[in-house]
């Protein structure tokens, strides 16, 4: 991403597109004009003649097809089934019941770590944010989405009791199998560069082995969710999906040979993509939010003061916190969890008077659009206040200017189906953490220069570490 930003600045901020040639001569077209972005993201996507494909065949070869990777009528079918299960009321109830007890345990372990370390005040306990937050959000997701206990937070407890900085992450079988499936081996890299997804899926023995292991674990989770909810009220998204029908409230074309519900193999594939997109997105947003709190102590104090003034930290309360909401919007602008969106045009297109050949790799660089001076005032400054408006007219002018230049969850018909889930979870987690602790940059990273990396989500190299103090 860094070279593309450098080339963009050299070309000038008025260029609508940037043609980027990468390793082995592969090229992509970076879209830097929000009007072209709008054209791409609002194009019809649920019919047989859809214009822009996701272009994620290689990901599909490793973890299967689902909302993230499907196109056309089959994407529309999955979207309607899954969206019917993502009822806002269900999410609010389930997340409130799941997040609060888990975050309280999580806070207890962090407090334990500080207490155990207090006898040696010269030593500061440093926290690997990525590992800790990943464990927390994995357990929440397992409960709310799958009716499954990953028990990942147990690693945080072990870390707290150990007295050391090392975090021994004992990965669940499903998590490790997905992680292994996504890693590029030498053979996998060859298939990737050759753009031959079929070869990686069918001829790469490691990919086949990881996929088999992953499917077996997913089948066990599905069967347990089905058995535990044979007669009761659904308690997770998976249990809702086991009952969902694509014809509930919408007349659409079911997949041939099905009754309009998701088959077991389709459920498996959606679950994997929920793991990749949902779990990673939320933990990454929390990761960058805490990083920003460390970097800007004045912002941390404002966020804390508003949260401290709230009587309770239930969902209704945290959703009503104005500065906190503005802060999270600015975090997503400054460090969008998904650093870019990818598309491939199926037909020849006209972008800003330029003819774009069919099958061009198109990149919508979220990170760059979020810092585009054409759409944002003082884009390199972190300013939550930009999201707080004096009246409705000012708010509307701001939205008109930034629409399709602010894409934390994409936009248009293929926007993220789980965006409300992610924001509810994030607000509940961070509100409790900020009320309990003040955050500082870890002593070992005070003068560290972080570089950005983006594979599935936007992270830093090295990964961020923090130290903390109890507020009471």
Query: Nearest-5° angle of CA 454, CA 110, CA 422?
Result: 40
Domain 2-470 part of CATH 1.10.630.10? yes
89 pLDDT tier (thresholds 50, 70, 90): confident
pLDDT tens digits along 287-333 = 999 999 999 999 999 999 999 999 889 888 999 999 999 999 999 99
Question: DSSP letter string over 127-138?
Answer: EEHHHHHHHHHH
Structure tokens at 457: 């989500």
**What residue ranges do the domains of the chain occupy?**
2-470
Residue 288, CB-side half-sphere exposure with 13 Å CA sphere? 27
Q: Cα separation of 177 and 294, whole Å? A: 34
* Band (269; pLDDT cuts 50, 70, 90): confident
Which pLDDT does position 124 carry in this prediction? 75
CA gap 277, 178 in Å, rounded: 12
In 3-state terms, what secondary structure has residue 167?
coil
Q: How many CA atoms lie within 13 A of 121 on its CB side?
A: 0
Bridge partners of 304, per DSSP, are none
Q: If you ran DSSP here, which 8-state letter would residue 451 be given? A: E
pTM for the model: 0.90
Measured between alpha carbons, how far is 22 from 3 in angstroms, rounded to an integer?
10
The mean per-residue pLDDT over the stretch 125-143 comes to 93
Query: What's the rounded mean pLDDT across residues 447-452?
Result: 91
> pLDDT digit string (tens) for 61-80?
667 788 888 999 999 989 98
Percent of the chain with pLDDT over 70: 86
Q: Give the pLDDT score at 328.
A: 98
Q: Considering Cα of 175, then 177, then 181, then 186, what sign does the dihedral take?
A: positive
Average pLDDT over residues 391-413: 96
Q: What is the pLDDT of residue 62?
A: 67
Which whole-number Å values give the CA distances from 201 to 80, 98, 179, 304, 456, in the listed order? 28, 36, 16, 49, 19
- pLDDT of 168 > 90? The answer is no
User: Three-state SS across 296-311?
Assistant: CHHHHHHHHHHHHCCC
CA distances from 102 to 23, 335, 363 (A): 43, 26, 37
Mean pLDDT of the chain: 86
C-alpha 237/C-alpha 244 separation (Å) is 10
Q: What is the pLDDT of residues 215-259, one digit of tens each?
A: 888 889 988 888 887 667 788 888 888 876 544 444 434 444 445
pLDDT at 169: 67
pLDDT of residue 233: 76
Q: Which of 56, 58, 33 is nearest to 356 (CA)?
A: 33
């Amino acid at each position: 991403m860094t070279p593309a930003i450098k080339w963009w600045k050299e070309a000038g901020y008025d260029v609508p597109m940037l043609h980027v040639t990468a390793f082995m001569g592969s090229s992509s077209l970076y879209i830097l004009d929000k009007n072209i972005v709008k054209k791409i993201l609002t194009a019809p996507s649920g019919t047989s003649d859809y214009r822009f494909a996701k272009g994620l065949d290689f990901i599909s070869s490793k973890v299967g097809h689902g909302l993230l990777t499907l196109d056309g009528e089959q994407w529309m079918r999955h979207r309607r089934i899954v969206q019917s299960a993502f009822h806002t009321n269900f999410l609010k109830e389930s997340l409130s019941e799941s997040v609060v007890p888990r975050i309280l345990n999580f806070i207890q372990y962090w407090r334990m770590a500080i207490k155990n370390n207090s006898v040696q005040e010269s030593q500061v306990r440093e926290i690997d944010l990525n590992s800790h937050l990943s464990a927390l959000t994995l357990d929440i997701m397992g409960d709310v989405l799958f009716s499954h206990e990953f028990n990942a937070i147990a690693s945080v407890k072990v870390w707290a009791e150990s007295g050391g900085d090392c975090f021994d992450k004992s990965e669940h079988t499903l998590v490790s199998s997905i992680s292994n499936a996504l890693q590029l081996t030498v053979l996998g890299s060859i298939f990737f560069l050759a753009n031959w997804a079929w070869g990686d899926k069918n001829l790469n023995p490691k990919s086949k082995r990881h996929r088999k292991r992953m499917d077996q674990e997913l089948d066990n989770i599905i069967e347990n969710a089905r058995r535990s909810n044979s007669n009761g009220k659904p308690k997770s998204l998976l249990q809702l999906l086991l009952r969902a029908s694509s014809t509930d409230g919408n007349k659409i074309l079911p997949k041939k040979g099905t009754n309009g519900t998701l088959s077991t193999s389709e459920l498996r594939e959606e679950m994997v993509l929920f793991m990749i997109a949902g779990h990673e997105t939320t933990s990454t947003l929390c990761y960058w939010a805490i990083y920003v709190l460390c970097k800007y102590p004045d912002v941390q104090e404002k966020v804390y003061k508003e949260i401290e003034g709230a009587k309770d930290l239930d969902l209704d309360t945290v959703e009503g916190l104005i500065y906190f909401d503005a802060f999270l919007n600015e975090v997503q602008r400054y460090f969008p969890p998904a650093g870019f969106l990818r598309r491939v045009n199926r037909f020849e297109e006209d972008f800003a008077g330029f003819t774009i050949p069919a099958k061009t790799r198109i990149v919508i660089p979220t990170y760059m659009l979020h810092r585009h001076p054409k759409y944002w005032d003082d884009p390199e400054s972190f300013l939550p206040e930009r999201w707080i408006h004096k009246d409705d007219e000012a708010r509307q002018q701001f939205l008109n200017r930034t629409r399709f230049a602010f894409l934390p969850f994409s936009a248009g018909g293929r926007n993220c189906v789980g965006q409300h889930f992610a924001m509810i979870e994030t607000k509940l987690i961070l509100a409790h953490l900020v009320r309990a602790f003040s955050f500082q940059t870890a002593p070992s990273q005070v003068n560290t220069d972080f570089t950005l990396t983006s594979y599935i989500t936007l992270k830093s190299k090295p990964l961020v570490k923090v130290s903390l103090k109890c507020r009471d």
